[in-house]
Chains A and B, each alone.
Chain A
Amino acid sequence: MRQQYQNFIFFIVLATAFAACEPVEYGETGDPFSKIEGIEGAWIATEVIQVDETALAQGGMYTEQDLTELFNFSSYTITFNIDADTMPSTFTVITGGAPSFIDTTGTWSFNDNNFPTEVLFSHPDSSLFTSKMRLITPPRDQNPLHMKFQRFSGGKLIVSYQYTFEKQNQ
């Protein structure tokens, strides 16, 4: 009787193990999401942090300052437009009285459409980019947009402004 019980337990364990080995079918991974479509639309600033990069590099005590409620940054809006071929086209900044470290109108592009790390802004009169923002995370339609503007002097990064934007009219 005891031998039969042991055989039964062994059979159950074996059956469970075989069932676990059954191949599981996963869905298609699909095409990678488009970063251009991910950034298209109007974005409003929800947080702006000024970072003292010199103090940060030197292990200083005061490295960040929240500017969100100052200088009307919470009204700062940037709109990225795309053309009929889903390629970057124009952009518009509505400062709402806040300072803008980039151009306020012109055309925009990514440094790499598939793996962008920078958004390049060109003044309407210029064929070259005249200002840029660094992407902190890849742009995705349903996620907040994180970008930073970096100020250099003498080849060294001295200050950066880290923006968090939320998509408007989702």
Chain B
Amino acid sequence: MKRNIIIPVCFLLLFFSMDLLAGGDPRVGTAPAAFLGNEEITIYLRVLATDLEDAEGPLYLISGANGGEMNMSLEASVMDENVWSVTITPDEYYGVTVETIEGKISDNNGTETNAFSLSVFDPSVMDGVMVKWFPSTAIYSENVSIIFNATMSDRDDLTGVDPVYMWAWNNPEGLGDAANQGGWGSVDPSAACEKIGEDLWRKDIVPQLYWDTEKPMSEIGCLFRNMAGDAQTEDLAIPLVAPPVTEVAKVIRPFPVKFTKKDIFTLYYDLKLETNSAIKNLKDIYIETSTNVEEENNPLPGSWIVYKPSELERAKMTPLEDSIYYIQFIPEQYYSLDPAYELKQLNYIFRNKGGIVKSEQYSIKVLKED
């Protein structure tokens, strides 16, 4: 009887421990967004808000195909902050005709993100449909593939037309016609779509790049046409959204996220998210701080208990709202740094006045000014 209880409890514990180990969901996309298995693609791995956020690398794509084992490892390249990429031709890389790719991102220390999945474009989804775009929720700063099935043309018949061009504009933000597509009577070759099947055409763009703008965009206006412009579809509108905000609540939040020793720096500490239950009951929070790694540059050195009241006041955090505390200063002044001192890191332990109740140590990187 007891054994009957222990087994499900063990399963539950295992389930919860696996959940705790999960490293967050990466946001993964491809260029082109709707891709074929036999073409070269770039996979973008966005690790913001995962356990690999701000990782220095190397990072690897651990992956497999068609639901098989994830046993392929490929080192990723840095594209931007928290954006990594790999370039592969799926069918060649996995050695099979690929329908789906399953993957996760990992570093050398075994820190991993949650698994993700990508699907190869299936032309049958265009049966009876003139236009579809991928992903269905298109983001203005990322790749979107607009697929056109010429056999379903809604105005002039574009079946057999080769090549088909996409004529694009933006009205809501007043960006007008896409700059590089030429004029209506002299359409630029760069506006041509890519043939991905019989009477099946793809235009893959990053909207902001296509319009050469940094403005947020809410819509692509477009139609498909022949070169002469005497055969075309009706106007289409493809909605666009902003990239998702992927910040997760953390015990400490520096503002700004990146700063130098000369900047005004605010450190927020959220008691609600503190795992040490003893600290959660404190009314007054103090910091114990030092700089860099294995260096003592504490503006409040020595034994905490015998600090002068003026020094203790410097270490006290200010309550803000809803169990959030903050402290604000300019690092080079607060730590009385010599101008030549290279400040690379700030370390914090949160504690009570006497120093008996303490949090774990948190560290924050400090950048060097150009």
Could you list which residues of chain A lie within 8 angstroms of chain B, going by C-beta atoms? 50-55, 58-62, 65, 67, 70-71, 99, 101, 151-155, 158-159
Contacts and interface: CB of A to CB of B under 8 A. Distances in A.
A99 B256 contact: no
A54 B247 CA distance: 13
B341 to A, nearest CB: 17
A4 to B, nearest CB: 51
A52 B255 CA distance: 7
Interface stretch (B226-234, B259-267, B283-291): B259-267
Contacts of A51: 256
Chain B binding site: helix, strand, loop or mixed by DSSP? loop
A70 B263 CA distance: 14
Given A60-B247, A65-B266, A71-B264, A155 B370 contact: yes
A159 B328 contact: no
A50 B48 contact: no
Contact of A158 (B82, B244, B330, B367): B367
Given A153-B260, A154-B370, 9 more contacts: A55-B256, A58-B48, A59-B245, A61-B245, A65-B255, A65-B266, A99-B333, A153-B370, A158-B367
B215 interface: no
Interface string B231-266: 000000000001111010000010111111011101
B253 A62 contact: yes
Contacts of A152: 369-370
Contacts of B257: 52, 54-55, 60
B242 A59 contact: yes
Contacts of B314: none
Contacts of B258: 52, 54, 153, 158-159
Contacts of B247: 60-62
A99 B261 CA distance: 13
Nearest to B330: A99
Contacts of A58: 48, 81-82
A158 B264 contact: no
Contacts of B255: 50, 52, 62, 65
B368 interface: yes
Contact of A67 (B81, B245, B260, B264): B264
A59 B367 contact: no
B19 to A, nearest CB: 25
